[in-house]
Amino acid sequence: MKYELPKLPYAYDALEPFIDAKTMEIHYTKHHQAYVNNLNAALEEHPELAEEPLTNLLKAIETVPESIRTAVRNHGGGHANHSFFWTIMGPPVSKAGSKTAIEGPEGKIGEAITKSFGNFGKFKTEFSKAATGTFGSGWAWLVRDANGKLSIMTTPNQDSPLSKGFEPILTLDVWEHAYYLKYQNKRPDYIDAWWNVVNWKEVEKHL
């Protein structure tokens, strides 16, 4: 079994103007594809592991044979993280922005965030701060632990929260390749814009 790029659930330009079409295209067809290719190449050395769901490999990363452990952590993580990231975004309500970027989502996910962080504004500030402060390349996450408790964390490189015992609920890629074409060095502007394209209906499924 070989890993493949998952189908992108929207067009490259669907997240405009917050995430530009060129960035989406390169991010998906070049960066994500490279993680898939490199993961497949690593697993050729251990074909028995290719039958195991990727999430299981990441959860038990310390048991993956040492010769390919770093490759699975980096490229398996890269594949899993990007596959997840695409699904929790979607077209903004309008080019001027989404109401939920300011007021937060309604429903179960909105209630869970309020319960865990006080209100949406506090959650947004804390998550954005974590994303802004991630040194170098990495990801910001809203995760839940085995007891269902929500928290914000960051991971370096392509590390997955699964390897630390957390299930992802929401994530933001803060590698420069995710924003440099449009935002250059202004990572905080990218983060501010990104809130307009969060697909809360999808996020809620991970609660």
| Positions in the binding site for Mn ion (CB under 5 A) | 173, 175, 178
Q: Rank residues 127 and 175 by Cβ distance to Mn ion and give the closer one.
A: 175
**Coil, strand, or helix at residue 175?**
coil
Closest to 78 (Cα-Cα) out of 19, 27, 25: 27
Of 12 and 175, which CB lies nearer to Mn ion in the complex structure? 175
Nearer to Mn ion, 84 or 117 (CB): 84
Kindly state the tokens that stand for 175: 């590698």
Place of tokens 């060095």: 185
CB of 138 to Mn ion, least distance (A): 10
| Residue count (the chain) | 207
Closest to Mn ion by CB, 31 or 46? 31
Nearer to Mn ion, 130 or 178 (CB): 178
Spatial separation of the C-alpha atoms in residues 28 and 18, rounded to whole Å: 16
Question: 179-182 contacts: CB < 8 A, separation 24 or more?
Answer: 179/19, 179/23, 180/23, 181/20, 181/22, 181/23, 181/26, 182/19, 182/20, 182/23
- Minimum distance from residue 80 beta carbon to Mn ion (Å): 12
Minimum gap (Å) between residue 89 Cβ and Mn ion = 12
Q: How far is the CB of 35 from Mn ion (least distance, A)?
A: 8
Instruction: Go through 167-177 and write b for each residue having 16 or more CB atoms within 10 A of its CB, e for each that does not.
Output: bbbbbbbbbee
When CB distances to Mn ion are compared, the closest residue is 173
CA-based nearest residue to 45, from 82, 81, 78, 70 = 70
> C-beta of 82: minimal distance to Mn ion in Å?
6
